[in-house]
């Protein structure tokens, strides 16, 4: 059923955004099949073909104009015209969030930005940050007697505490987005810390303690080296392999 402007129940912001993105995808496909500069139709034509309200169409056109995929002209002979679409313009509009992301993929991205995160955290370290890290480490060590899901969450909470130490920066932005994916994957992780997982969990907890010791003492080289140790990474490798087929929520836009 078409979305009606002025409906008694207004759509939420998120719902309207999704509708606008869907309409933008439809118009972008049309533009990609049309030579740059050629007319795609009037606003009314596109509103009817996308089956959306005027407001939603305006938002869709705004998204596409921002990436250069269309141009809009007013007056006689005006309308919506194909722009110069490219993989970059589509990526900017969509945020690259088309396919589900697995826990393993998210872990690989987080591992890539970890040196920047660790360096920034050590640079901004103060007594309050040291105390927060120690407290998170204690929670992680206590979780070695909990479920596997609880322990993995405790490891993510420790790293999130590290990520949050600097007041800002691109590394924090990227790490935060990736960690939202990993947190969303926790529901896929199941089971107790049985003998099959015990050694992996205990090794990670011991490495985490040495990692935090290096962080609070400001030893960047040692902290980065510990993160590369088999005892530290084995937990994430095994979780990724065990639940590799379970997609996780898309990266936040």
Q: How many angstroms separate the Cα of 15 from the Cα of each of 22, 65, 94, 97, 173?
A: 11, 21, 16, 17, 25
Per-residue confidence at 103, pLDDT binned at 50, 70, 90? confident
Q: Mean pLDDT across the stretch 151-156? A: 94
Phi, psi of 94 (to 5 degrees): -90, -15
Q: What is the pLDDT of residues 3-46, one digit of tens each?
A: 444 444 444 677 888 888 899 989 998 998 899 899 999 999 99
The pLDDT of residue 136: 96
* Model confidence at 106: pLDDT above 50: yes
Give 127: exposed, middle or buried? Use CB within 10 Å, 0-12, 13-18, 19+.
exposed
Q: Which residues contact 224 (CB under 8 A, 6 or more apart)?
A: 114, 115, 118
Return the residue matching tokens 């589900």: 100
For the entire predicted model, the pTM comes to: 0.63
The pLDDT of residue 7: 41
Tell me the C-alpha distance between 140 and 147, whole Å: 12
Beta strand residue intervals within the chain, DSSP E: 39-41, 70-73, 79-82, 101-102, 247-248
Count CA atoms closer than 13 A to 239's CA, side-chain side.
34
Per-residue confidence at 184, pLDDT binned at 50, 70, 90? confident
Per-residue confidence at 234, pLDDT binned at 50, 70, 90? very high
Walk me through the domains of the chain, giving residue ranges and CATH numbers. 13-94 (1.10.10.10), 101-248 (1.20.120.530)
Average pLDDT across the chain, whole number = 85
Q: What is the pLDDT of residues 154-163, one digit of tens each?
A: 999 999 999 9
Strand partners, 80: 41, 72
* Model confidence at 250: pLDDT above 60: no
The pLDDT of residue 253: 34
Q: What is the pLDDT of residues 188-198, one digit of tens each?
A: 888 899 999 99
């Amino acid at each position: 059923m078409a979305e009606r402007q002025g409906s008694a129940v207004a759509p939420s912001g998120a719902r309207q955004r999704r509708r606008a993105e869907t309409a933008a995808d439809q118009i972008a496909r049309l533009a990609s099949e049309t030579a740059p500069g050629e007319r795609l139709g009037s606003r009314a034509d596109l509103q009817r073909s996308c089956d959306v309200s005027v407001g939603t169409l305006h938002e869709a056109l705004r998204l596409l104009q921002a990436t250069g995929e269309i141009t809009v002209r007013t007056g006689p002979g005006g309308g919506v015209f194909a722009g110069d679409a490219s993989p970059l313009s589509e990526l900017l509009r969509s945020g690259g969030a088309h396919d589900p992301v697995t826990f393993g993929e998210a872990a690989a991205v987080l591992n890539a930005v970890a040196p920047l995160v660790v360096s920034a955290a050590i640079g901004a370290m103060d007594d309050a940050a040291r105390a927060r890290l120690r407290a998170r480490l204690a929670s992680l060590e206590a979780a070695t007697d909990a479920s596997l899901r609880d322990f993995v969450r405790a490891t993510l909470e420790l790293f999130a505490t590290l990520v949050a130490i600097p007041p800002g920066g691109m590394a924090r932005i990227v790490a935060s987005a990736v960690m939202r994916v990993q947190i969303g994957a926790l529901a896929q992780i199941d089971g107790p810390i049985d003998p099959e997982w015990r050694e992996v969990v205990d090794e990670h907890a011991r490495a985490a303690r040495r990692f935090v010791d290096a962080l609070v003492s400001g030893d960047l080289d040692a902290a980065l080296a510990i993160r590369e140790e088999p005892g530290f990474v084995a937990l994430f490798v095994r979780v990724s392999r065990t639940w590799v087929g379970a997609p996780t929520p898309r990266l936040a836009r």
